[in-house]
Amino acid sequence: MSDCLFCRIVRGEIPATKVYEDELVLAFKDIRPVAPVHLLVIPKRHIESLVTATSDDAEVLGRMFSVIGKIAAEQGATDGFRTIVNSGRVGGQEVYHLHAHVIGGGAQLPAMIKY
Ligand code: AMP
Ligand code: ZN
């Protein structure tokens, strides 16, 4: 996915404020933060969405979710955070490279989505 925005960040072609990296996962600050801590945690390998992810992606998905707590605390979300994975059209996904938002570091977040 040569023209994918987040693949380009992984390759260093677009700048990002990286806060964590290992061989499978990259985390960086969201460019339009909605809270004092707003990070995006992504697989380095292009996976479009949770809509299309399969059991072949289990290792990297496991890595993403197992490092989030440590990264969040290091970045200042020391008293909990919210993790959101917008998936597909109904989920409001804008960038079609799977990413987990990690949001916190400030006041109590509002309640879950209400219709
Ligand atoms: P989503 O709606 O879940 O697909 O969220 C995409 C997120 O990517 C939004 O919160 C954007 O602010 C963020 N974003 C878009 N471009 C960049 C970028 N170049 N660097 C960091 N975050 C970005
Ligand atoms: Zn990509």
DSSP 56: G
CB-ligand 1 contact for 16 (6 Å cutoff): yes
Q: What is the pLDDT of residues 64-86, one digit of tens each?
A: 999 999 999 999 999 999 999 99
Query: For residue 30, which of 5, 63, 55, 67 has the smallest C-alpha distance?
Result: 5
Instruction: Say if residue 111 is exposed, middle or buried (CB neighbours under 10 Å; 0-12, 13-18, 19+).
Output: exposed
- Is 79 part of a structural domain of the chain? yes
Catalytic residue numbers, as ranges: 99
Instruction: Compute, in angstroms, the gap from residue 30 CA to the centroid of ligand 1.
Output: 6
Q: The domain that contains 32 carries what CATH number?
A: 3.30.428.10
* CB of 34 sitting under 6 A from ligand 1: no
Whether residue 67 contacts residue 22, with contact meaning beta carbons closer than 8 Å, is answered with: yes
Angle at 104 between CA 18 and CA 22, to 5 degrees: 30
Could you give the number of structural domains in the chain? 1
Range(s) of the domain holding residue 70: 5-104
pTM (2 d.p.): 0.97
Write down the pLDDT at residue 30. 98
Per-residue pLDDT of the chain (115 residues; tens, 9 = 90+): 679 999 999 999 999 999 999 999 999 999 999 999 999 999 999 999 999 999 999 999 999 999 999 999 999 999 999 999 999 999 999 999 999 999 999 999 999 888 7
Residue 22 is assigned to a structural domain of this protein: yes
Q: Under a CB-based contact definition with an 8 Å cutoff, are residues 103 and 38 in contact? A: yes
Contact present, 40 and 101 (Cβ < 8 Å): yes
The Cα angle at residue 100 between residues 76 and 3, in degrees rounded to 5: 120
